[in-house]
Structure 1
Amino acid sequence: MNNNDSKRCKVGELRPSQALTTFGIGSIIDLPNLSVMVMGLEDWSYKDTVEIGEQRLLASVKEMLGHQVKSLRSAPVVPDTYQVNQFDSATLVGIPVAPFPRWMVCPYCRRLAPLGSGLFKLETPYRTDQIRYIHANCTKPGKSPTIVPARFIVACKNGHFDDFPWRDFVHRGPNNCKGGLKLLENSATGEAASIFVQCEGANCGATRPMSDAFKMDLMAMPVCKARRPHLRDHDDAGCKTPNGQDMRMEPMLQGASNSWFGLTLSALAIPQASGKLKQLVEDNWTTLGKVQSEQNIELLMSISQLRDLSEYTAAEIWQAVQAKKTEVPEEDVEPTDIKTPEWEVFINPDSSEKGRDFQIRIAAPPKRYAKYFEKIVLAERLREVRALVGFTRIESPSDYDNPTAFPENQRVPLSRTQPTWVPASEIRGEGLFFQFKEDVIQKWVKKAKSLDAVFMEAHQRWRSARKLEPPQEFYPGIRYVLLHSFAHALIRQLAVECGYTTASLRERIYSTNSKKPEVEMAGVLIYTAAPDSEGTLGGLVSLGKPETLERHLDQALDNMRLCASDPLCAEHHPYRDGNTLHAASCHACLFAPETSCERGNKYLDRAVLVSTVERSDLAFFE
């Protein structure tokens, strides 16, 4: 943690995957006695990171952030060695953070002041969970009380973040009053109407309820200062609305779920070459891409850095490396089109090379579902790599087709300059892939034209309400609604009956891309996405046996017929019952955790799967 006292110390622990999905750059981490913000890439220790190889994902990141990006790298890794003194600078390996918000409150005397005021002192005991700020001059007798962060902050849709403007707010505008502030709570309910800010300045006595900040017109809030605390600067471009007006800040609570949304790109490690040696070179390209001679390869083999290639000579490996370096990239392959190559591998399992991180085989579909599925593919080994390319505030990126579709002016950068690397994580697991029959899908799509029009209207209204043009862009289609609903129904069934937690399963939908309509896709991959042993023990693949899978499909679809919230759930209309992007679905029947769903629980309708109490004319499964 970095602070004004120039002290550096360890303040907590995170899993590597959390540095991308939950507590990435720009997010707030709540610790036992303080809250901190993750700093930008300039503060990260490059030497403590490890390069992660995935060429397809790197190409997509370059397409989005620029070709100056050279690598995907893990979060700083703490060595597995005993640390004699955890405060020794040589052992401080981790993600840099700084206290945020900077305004703190004493729970005893209710004094409200920033950390830079000199009223508060940092205590750094040996135990990291006891690091805290104290109010040394508090009127409380005995031990100095631990201060807590003021739980109100401000943000804007362009991703800027700042401390709550306490002085301007209580004085209803800019004021030269230097009086001390207090944050008073008149009741234990915690509601904004019972919380008051009070100024103790001479001849002032200004006071104001916090409920004034949450009025819908936002006129009580100041103009956005374009502050980016994770980069320790202000945006040079300023902050304007799409209409060119000054953007006003929006108040929110410190732990609000919409204060940070990570923008991540993900790709599965699939075979990219024909032939075992070529594929092994591809798998180890992170290391082999840097070699300059055959002697370099001999040196790497002597220190056991190329164990996968031990059956080949250094000359053979060097020849394959030279051949790869001289390859001309295919012009018709779009770097941002990550899913089409994966789809082609899954529908032709026998033609792909098996690797350390990718092994698939075909299984027969259950007899009663053979008319719906072309094939079931068991993925015994999968490796997914995710890269953080930015983040947003207030507006969720899961509402878009992919992160590249999110408005660039609302995408907050990870560094002050163009990054040369981005944080990434890799997860190994297993999965089940379902390929639907294209002719059956097309027949159903024609039958569901009325519902398609409803979802299209909801999509346009949703984008128009957010002033996104053109409103019809990025609509995934009714085919996607069917595949997405099926994936959620199956995830919930596996979680209930098979012991997997819902958050440890993840979906990957392969639906026809509007930019490549000639590649007709209709598939669903359900795979384990938890970075622990739960995703590597074969439990999910074992469910792909025809007789076992048939029972789970039966149960999953049967659970969709009735919902605990029926008839309200079954009757829900996407835009008549509020500006939503889902029909018959809710938390009781079809919604999944945010980490499991790639579209934020949108474009869902269980009526497309089976008959419900509201309608039976759209059921795909008879």
Structure 2
Amino acid sequence: MIRGKIRRSQLVAPFGPGAMQVLADGTSVITAGLDHWFIPGERLDQEEFRIHEWRLERHLGVEALYTPPDYRDSFRSSPDQYNTKLQVPVLRFPAWSFCPRCRALTQHPLHLADRPRCTNPNCPRQKASWAPFLAQVPFVALCERGHLQDFPWVEWVHRAVSPSCRSPKLKLRTSGGGTLASQRVVCETCHKDRGLEGITSVERPNQGDKDETTYLTAHLEDGTEFSCRGAMPWLGLATAGQPCGEPLRGSLRGAANVYYALVKSSIFIPEASSTGVDPRVLEALEEQTIARARANARGVLDDGEVLTASRLRRTARKNAFRLEKFTDEQIEAALSILEGPAAASTELTADADGDQAPFRQQEYTRIRDTIDSTELVVREQEADSANDVGRLVSRVRLVEKLRETRVLWGFNRIFAESSNPDTAARMALLRRRTPEDGESWLPAYTVLGEGIYLELDPELLVQWEVAPSVQNRLVPIAQRFQMVAQERHLVERQVTPRLVLLHTLAHLLINQLTFECGYSSASLRERLYVSPGTDGMNGLLIYTAAGDSEGTLGGLVRMGQPERFEEVLKNAISNSRWCSSDPVCMDSHGQGPDSCNLAACHSCALLPETACEEFNRFLDRGLVAGTLDDPGLGFFSSLA
């Protein structure tokens, strides 16, 4: 039996449905769809894994969010224990394997439970007491729509979409080189052979033509295109019913472009103001067992009927003791917040253009003020900042407690972003059958942490960003990104001085905080709130992103106090004036990922990919602290 262990959060990213991974015994497997994550049965209580995040549920149009199940042995559990022996299924993929000794290619079913051995009677090791284990082939084929299939070995070697060879016997031979040209597939039945050079490449039929195809699609058979068949092996589908029609591209199975998880994140904010309500009551109502009872009671209420305290106590049954110390009036006041009309008044829809600003506007509105709730605690600084800092930074908030929820809502292949995002099509890739009404859900997990929120002075920011010198500084980035967006199928967007300034400032502060408060750069994360105009968003949140491994003991929040924050900010700005790679870094006209950075490199402003929202693009120290030729160009030049 093929088995393996994995962290639950990794089943959201990077090993969600449709993603491949290699187990400890060397077997390559692909995570199955959501249809079989929770198998209905007597001992299943799926509500135990429920994550309550109302904004993401409405934004993505699903009924619920669940954490991936954890495995529990039944012999260690009590007789009334639920959710035992839950496992996330995987399938063995690629289905083709080769013998390391005789190089014979063999195909096996996806549901094969054991590691296969070579059955070739001519294999040299067959004469020994055991046959060698087969190794899975290193190549697969995929398309931009998210489909994935085995590399077409039979069709490729015979140079035909429908080969005439009756019983092909294939071998994968290598000449020992490190390129695809050294790999050849041979058919011993008809004595045909063909190299694998070019199977991963893209080409355009005519020079200057925007439509592109792939070498595999165009050259598998001369005069005939071999396009994608729509295979989805993680769902057990060899085809999608109808041919996909997209160009098919070969790839190494471990290549980074085989799977890009599409994850949506949200900072939890209360559904309504909790003024006048005892926070202990809200905490009790949001506790896992009581929240489950609320959901069960809500499901049997008639239209217009209100959930009462007495009904909730009856529904909670043996867990009703958690509500004993509160009166019915206290509980119903809290229920009016959590279950009342205000909770359902906000309707959010997925953004067709991929713009995150509308979704984050609500976070921005709430987090810039003080909040004291069970999941989000935001405080003001104990004192105002000094004049030189307070003139530029108009607001600083200490986020003593926050909860971030990350949801997997789909995935891409080949390109990390899509120029034509289709939320419904990407969600459909996660499951084989369309869920019935009221049963749609997505996998998610939560991270608890702390953070610092800061906001720039809006009037000074508008005056600065319209300056001609600032606008001209961004021309190389904007032009380069426009070219890259067309070549790499990225979502086109406007690169503004505000975005580059806030993004670079976040990176500089994170790098400085790693020295000041002890967190590693991979443990901190940025969250940008950017939209144009004087009344637009112009804030950023730096928060802990790995609370389970390094803890959240208040170290980051303490750095937000005035005397410490001023020192951190000034040191970050001062250090940004000079990089160890200057003057090359500062005078650059395009460097970093996709050449979409100016004065930003690994020595000064880049961060681990997990900490950055923009793939380390749109960075420039010059707009923060000024350049060598124009020291006054930066927004924070007066602090440098």
Provide the TM-score with structure 1 as the length reference. Answer: 0.82
1:431 Cα offset (Å): 0.8
Q: 1:180 aligns with which of 166, 169, 177?
A: 169
What residue number does 2:449 align with? Answer: 429
Give runs of aligned pairs for residues 171-570 of structure 1, distance below 5 A: 171-174=158-161, 175-177=163-165, 178-187=167-176, 189-201=177-189, 204-217=190-203, 218-221=214-217, 222-233=226-237, 234-236=239-241, 238-239=243-244, 246-274=245-273, 275-277=275-277, 280=282, 283=286, 287-291=293-297, 294-299=309-314, 303-304=318-319, 307=322, 311-314=325-328, 316-318=330-332, 320-321=334-335, 325=339, 327=341, 334-336=348-350, 337-349=358-370, 352=371, 354-363=372-381, 364=383, 366-367=385-386, 368-397=388-417, 413-419=429-435, 420-447=440-467, 448-466=470-488, 474-475=493-494, 477-512=496-531, 519-570=535-586
- Is the 8 Å Cα contact of residues 216 and 250 (structure 2) preserved in structure 1? no
- Residues 252 and 58 of structure 1: CA distance in aligned 2, closer, same or farther (over 3 Å): same
Q: 1:589 to 1:153 in 2, by over 3 A?
A: farther
- Deviation by residue 1:482-534 (Cα, 9 ceiling, x = unmatched): 1111112222233355432222211110111x6xx684211111111115152
Deviates more, 1:74-83 or 1:42-51: 74-83
2:72 aligned partner, one-letter code: P
Query: How far apart in 2 are the matches of 1:152 and 1:197?
Result: 12
The verdict on how the C-alpha distance between 1:133 and 1:505 changes in structure 2, with shifts beyond 3 A counting, is: farther
* Range with bigger deviation, 283-292 or 140-149: 283-292
Letter in 2 for 1:444: W
Residue 439 (structure 1) shift? 1.5
Which residue does 2:103 correspond to in 1?
A: 110
CA 1:197–1:276 in structure 2 vs 1: closer, same or farther (change >3 Å)?
farther
Give 1:417 deviation, angstroms.
3.5
Evaluate the alpha carbon distance shift between residue 153 and residue 381 of structure 1 in structure 2; reply closer, same or farther with a 3 A threshold. Answer: same
How far is the alpha carbon of 1:260 from its aligned partner?
1.0
Give the superposed CA RMSD: 3.3
Q: Is the 8 A contact 1:584 1:604 kept in 2?
A: yes
CA distance in 1: counterparts of 2:45 and 2:22, whole angstroms: 24
SS at match of 2:341: coil
Q: Whole-Å Cα distance in 2 between the matches of residues 578 and 266 of structure 1?
A: 23
In the alignment, the residues of structure 2 paired with residue 206 and residue 405 of structure 1 have an alpha-carbon distance, to the nearest angstrom, of 42
Specify the SS of the correspondent of 1:527: strand
- Indicate which of 18, 29, 34 corresponds to 1:41: 34
> Cα 1:286–1:268, aligned 2, differ >3 Å: closer, same or farther?
farther
Distance 1:405 1:226, change over 3 A: closer
SS of structure 1 residue aligned to 2:72: coil
Aligned position for 1:24: 16
- Higher mean C-alpha deviation, range 217-226 or range 423-432: 217-226
Which range moved further: 17-26 or 311-320?
311-320
* CA shift in 2, pair 1:613/1:20, >3 Å: farther
Note if contact 1:490-1:556 (Cα within 8 Å) is conserved in structure 2: yes
CA contact 2:409–2:426 (8 Å) conserved in 1: no
The 3-state SS of whatever aligns with 2:611 is coil
Give me the whole-angstrom Cα distance separating, in 2, the residues matched to 1:507 and 1:82.
44
Deviation at 1:224, TM superposition (A): 1.0
The whole-number CA distance in structure 1 between the counterparts of 2:367 and 2:360 is 11
Bigger mean CA offset, 383-392 vs 309-318:
309-318
Q: CA separation of 1:229/1:213 partners in 2, compared to 1, >3 Å: closer, same or farther?
A: same
**Deviation of residue 385 (structure 1)?**
1.1
| CA–CA distance in structure 2, aligned partners of residues 14 and 549 of structure 1 | 39
Structure 1 residues 116 and 40 mapped into 2: Cα distance closer, same or farther (>3 Å)? closer
Change (3 A) 1:323 1:445: closer
- Structure 1 pair 297/332, CA: closer, same or farther in 2 (3 Å)? closer
Query: What is the aligned length?
Result: 570
Give the conservation status (yes or no) of the 8 Å contact 1:39–1:98. Answer: yes
Q: 1:34 to 1:526 in 2, by over 3 A?
A: same
- Amino acid corresponding to residue 19 of structure 2 in structure 1: S
Kindly provide the CA deviation profile for residues 76-129 of structure 1, in whole angstroms up to 9, marking residues without a partner as x. 122377659xxxxx95322111011111122222222212499xx854xxxxxx
Rounded to whole Å, the distance in 1 between the matches of 2:345 and 2:493 is 24
**Deviation of 1:599 (Å):** 1.9
Measured in 1, the distance between the counterparts of 2:241 and 2:175 equals: 41
Question: Against the structure 1 CA distance between its residues 48 and 507, is the aligned structure 2 distance closer, same or farther, given a 3 Å change threshold?
Answer: farther
TM-score (norm 2): 0.80
Q: Which blocks of at least 5 consecutive residues in structure 2 are unaligned?
A: 78-82, 204-213, 218-225, 302-307, 351-357
Q: d(CA) in 1 for partners of 2:59 and 2:296?
A: 21
- Is 1:135 aligned to 2:154, yes or no? no
For the residue of structure 1 that corresponds to 2:194, the secondary structure is strand
Structure 2 residue 183 is the aligned partner of structure 1 residue 167: no
Are 2:94 and 1:101 aligned?
yes
Matched with 1:147 is: 134
Per-residue CA deviation, residues 273-296 of structure 1 (Å, 9 max, x unaligned), is 223538718746554243255444
Look up the SS of the partner of 1:338 in the other structure: helix
Separation of aligned partners in 2, 1:490 and 1:422: 34
Percent sequence identity is: 31
